[in-house]
Amino acid sequence: MRPPTLWEFVQQFGGAYVSTEGALWRTLALLLARPGELTRRYLAGQRKHYVLPLRLYLTISVLVLLLMRMVAGLDAQAPVSVQVVAPQTPSSFSLDLGHGRAGMKDGQFYCSGLPAWLCQRLQRRMDVDPKGLQREMQQVGERMLGQIGSAMFVMLPAFALWLKLAYLDRPLRYTEHLVFALHLHAVWFLLLALALPGWGVLTAVAMVAVPAYGWLALRRVYGGRWWTRLLRSSAVSLLYLLTLAGVTAGLALWAVLF
């Protein structure tokens, strides 16, 4: 018997998923049409007819990340830019790492505007294989993109933690905040997919929908007066952005150094 082709495998997997998870489309419809309602029902114990939060998030995020890898290369809008300047001689090239620079000039290493430990690490890499490092730098954006899925396993728990701190007065466990975070990030990934083509209208819709959906979801799940919800959501957003900045910097360093 011949082994199945890739297309047959995809069809079998897709058919099995839809048949065993008949609630998939019901889940997506509720998730998109009524922000926060899927979380509210899950926390109320109405779980039988819906896809579980982690599985829903993983399904959507994996598909969107695959789509991103298909349509995206080096992104000029990346928070940390890495630019490789073509060498004039075989022993000369430079790396522009945001606010700092490092490289080789006439066989001599230089580094400015970067922490000492980072300069030492770069010097060791360049001394061993400067040409190999130069080739790797040209793929930094792609390497960072490939680690977004892993980074989200830091971002998601952090987001749930910030929610827990912001709503300490609510009798909710950390895992319940995590359910909300999973549902919210699943929608954000879908909105990211909407913006991937780069069409102005779709991108604008996605940018407006991200905070709007989050605000409506918070209202349905957490309730409270609008001004207290605004204060809490602002605090969570600030902490989340700081977490995002730290994770992005970590990804950039990993892409450069390893």
DSSP state of 22: T
CB 161 within 8 A of CB 235: no
| pLDDT tens digits, 101-146 | 777 777 778 888 878 887 887 777 666 555 565 565 556 556 666 6
Maximum CA extent, the chain: 68
Percent of the chain's residues with pLDDT above 90: 45
Q: Show me where the domains of the chain are located.
A: 52-74+144-257, 82-137
CA distance 101 to 97: 6
More confident residue, 247 or 175: 175
Per-residue pLDDT, 74: 39
Question: Whole-prediction pTM value?
Answer: 0.73
89's tokens: 């001689």
CA distance 248 to 193: 20
Per-residue pLDDT, 84: 44
The answer, yes or no, to whether residue 191 has pLDDT greater than 60, is: yes
CA distance 175 to 66: 28
What's the mean per-residue pLDDT of the chain? 80
